[in-house]
Structure 1
Amino acid sequence: MANTTKGRVCVTGASGFVASWLVKRLLESGYHVLGTVRDPGNHKKVGHLWNLAGAKERLELVRADLLEEGSFDDAVMACEGVFHTASPVITETDSNKATILDSAINGTLNVLRSCKKNPSLKRVVLTSSSSTVRLKDEADLPPNASLDETSWSSMEFCESLQIWYAIAKTLAEKAAWEFAKENGIDLVAVLPTFVVGPNLSHELSPTSTDVLGLFQGETTKFTVYGRMGYVHIDDVAICHILAYETARAAGRYICNSAVLDVNELLALLARRFPSYPIPKSLPCVYGEQTYDFSTAKVRELGMMKFRDVEEMFDDAVESLRAHGHLLSRSSSP
């Protein structure tokens, strides 16, 4: 394949919701992308990546598994930068805490162990989550708090509500920071809020499935979300690339457009999409919260504007319709 001026980068879990958009943006920017997937020959899972502009010239897909130590060695050794977006799928019904945490932490460390072996590696960008920041009890979350990158979720609070996803993401990120410090790896973390937008793949991610559920009248999934930040998937991809390309980037970066209570979101969607059976209201297991997120740090990288909530859900609905997951309704945009 032809050489490019921007070099070669690895994207782990390349067929995922966020990773696919990252691959798209990296190819458009002129990078040669080496994507890791569990089965490069599974066209149902990876076919959408080959449809991206520049894929035939500058995309390679190779096999790697998060839980197989050393399986990322070849991919990482061939690249100057690594975007670690792959993550074990964790759902609210998963109850084996030890298995969940072991998969998340060891999966991240397996990738970083491969990164340690590459002396030419410039930077690793880790996809973490705002769930590592925002989940606290009332005593640790004062009214109208502005949460920034110095904030960490309370593991005791998360465990009391069995929020395994947040625990797994928090412990995995902390393990990554410790490993990077001990081994001299230049690590930067991007912390997206709830990611909304169009799917490049026909198969839906867990977050896209939850969004689809709202438009079908589902009343269980968003109950646990409560007050939450929302961000367009394309903005998340752009933030990752800024974190990689900006030499002064360091530490954690919250990636967020707006913070809404779940019932504020439902009211907004009901006005915008009146023909769908969107629930009128949902309870919140966390109680009443008033926090917001500070995005001052990521804006210093040049991310000056985020798409608004209306645009991200417009794009998500259009995509769900295009893929046949959601029927069109004449009175909706």
Structure 2
Amino acid sequence: MAPASFHQSSKNTVCVMDASGKLGSSLVQQLLRRGYTVHAAVQYHGETQFSGFCSESNKLKIFHSDPFDYHSIIDALRGCSGVFYTFEPPQDQLNYDESMADVEVRAAHNVLEACAQTETIDKVVFTSSATAVIWREDRNSMDFDLDERHWSDVNLCRKFKLWHAISKTLAEKTAWALAMDRGVNMVSINAGLLMDSDLSIKNPYLNGAAEMYEDGVFVTVDLNFLVDAHICVYEDVSSYGRYLCFNHIINCHDDAVKLARQLTPSTPSLPQNSDQGMKIIQQRISNKKFNKLMVDFEPSRVDFFQSETQSY
């Protein structure tokens, strides 16, 4: 765990990009609670989105920053020692399709290049996805669990039109290549399916959900947990590389039914099969590296975020 004085030092200014989404805005909120000065870089919303976040208005600075406008990224990063980057699809292209990978790769490249050109940046926390890990031809024959050392097979993803996995895999690989080439200190978080009030059946992560479930790799993460994960890997000086981040796995019939009800609440419930309900699918994915890092992490909030999703 990083020293307690970490976020109270002179290097306590960080940028959250994109702060427009649920994860980004939640990160802004929690970072302010921990004493950081935050540059909230948003594409679509203004100051009203953050009203009431911080009584000290000088701790929060709003930047209208487009990941496809290099100069606007540079403006948001100026004076920051850290960056939390999470991709929010453009409003005119909300659906993941074959072209989204190009969009996401370009955004990741621009942000990492801007970080490399900003001398004050000490660390970048890059939000990726478990879908950049789990899609492999050999995943059922492997003698060990999938973890952050593994990458999804882009050709396999393209074959089955897993556009979310392709986009996340290519964007993260682009970010890593650029970070290593430019000497940027980057850590990535490969998050499971984010469980929040906005979750719907249209979420692109869910493409291939049945196969994920059957393979024992259908993992989810609560918003609170994911926010803590980002701050932990940023503050802990020992963090490195990739971290698979999830706090629940859907590997039994009851959990699958609960998720289905949340995604499609208007659909009539299916009769319960007692044999199905007892079956547990073996977990084939590991987040041991991440759990080890989180052991000593202490969130600064007290019931800061109310759980917005059904607990499993």
Normalised by the shorter chain, which TM-score bucket? 0.7 to 0.9
TM-score by length of 2: 0.78
Alpha carbons 1:230, 1:257 under 8 Å: kept: yes
What corresponds to 1:324 in structure 2? none
* Structure-to-structure mapping, 1:234-249, within 5 angstroms: 234-249=224-239
Within 1, Cα distance between the matches of 2:269 and 2:109?
A: 41
What corresponds to 1:166 in structure 2? 165
Within 2, Cα distance between the matches of 1:265 and 1:92?
A: 28
Go from structure 1 to structure 2 and tell me whether the alpha carbon gap of 1:54 and 1:189 turns closer, same or farther (over 3 Å shift): farther
What corresponds to 1:136 in structure 2? 136
Q: Which of 42, 63, 68 is the matching residue for 1:37? A: 42
Extract unaligned runs of 5+ from structure 2.
1-6, 272-280, 298-305
TM-score by length of 1: 0.73
Go from structure 1 to structure 2 and tell me whether the alpha carbon gap of 1:270 and 1:104 turns closer, same or farther (over 3 Å shift): closer
What corresponds to 2:15 in structure 1? 10
Once the 2 structures are TM-superposed, how far is the Cα of residue 59 of structure 1 from its aligned partner? 1.1
Alpha carbons 1:40, 1:62 under 8 Å: kept: no
What corresponds to 1:157 in structure 2? 156
Q: Which of 257, 262, 267 is the matching residue for 1:267? A: 257
What corresponds to 1:210 in structure 2? 201
The answer to whether the aligner puts 1:111 opposite 2:107 as a matched pair is: no
What corresponds to 1:284 in structure 2? none
Within 1, Cα distance between the matches of 2:209 and 2:70?
A: 34
Within 2, Cα distance between the matches of 1:131 and 1:290?
A: 19
Go from structure 1 to structure 2 and tell me whether the alpha carbon gap of 1:71 and 1:269 turns closer, same or farther (over 3 Å shift): closer
What corresponds to 1:224 in structure 2? 208
**Secondary structure of the equivalent of 1:120?**
coil
Once the 2 structures are TM-superposed, how far is the Cα of residue 49 of structure 1 from its aligned partner? 2.1
How many residues are paired up?
278
Once the 2 structures are TM-superposed, how far is the Cα of residue 178 of structure 1 from its aligned partner? 0.6
What corresponds to 1:78 in structure 2? 79
Once the 2 structures are TM-superposed, how far is the Cα of residue 160 of structure 1 from its aligned partner? 1.1
Go from structure 1 to structure 2 and tell me whether the alpha carbon gap of 1:258 and 1:142 turns closer, same or farther (over 3 Å shift): farther
Go from structure 1 to structure 2 and tell me whether the alpha carbon gap of 1:232 and 1:144 turns closer, same or farther (over 3 Å shift): farther
Let me know the Cα RMSD of the aligned residues.
Answer: 3.3
What corresponds to 2:59 in structure 1? 58
Once the 2 structures are TM-superposed, how far is the Cα of residue 135 of structure 1 from its aligned partner? 1.5
Once the 2 structures are TM-superposed, how far is the Cα of residue 268 of structure 1 from its aligned partner? 4.3
What corresponds to 1:216 in structure 2? none
Amino acid at match of 1:225: A
Within 2, Cα distance between the matches of 1:265 and 1:278?
A: 17
Within 1, Cα distance between the matches of 2:142 and 2:177?
A: 32
The answer to whether the aligner puts 1:316 opposite 2:308 as a matched pair is: yes
Once the 2 structures are TM-superposed, how far is the Cα of residue 173 of structure 1 from its aligned partner? 0.4
The answer to whether the aligner puts 1:257 opposite 2:247 as a matched pair is: yes
What corresponds to 2:27 in structure 1? 22
How much identity, in percent, do the aligned residues show? 27
Within 2, Cα distance between the matches of 1:110 and 1:13?
A: 13
What corresponds to 2:302 in structure 1? none
Once the 2 structures are TM-superposed, how far is the Cα of residue 280 of structure 1 from its aligned partner? 3.4
Extract unaligned runs of 5+ from structure 1.
214-219, 282-288, 306-313, 319-333
Go from structure 1 to structure 2 and tell me whether the alpha carbon gap of 1:82 and 1:70 turns closer, same or farther (over 3 Å shift): same
Go from structure 1 to structure 2 and tell me whether the alpha carbon gap of 1:170 and 1:262 turns closer, same or farther (over 3 Å shift): farther
Go from structure 1 to structure 2 and tell me whether the alpha carbon gap of 1:178 and 1:267 turns closer, same or farther (over 3 Å shift): same
Alpha carbons 2:29, 2:53 under 8 Å: kept: yes
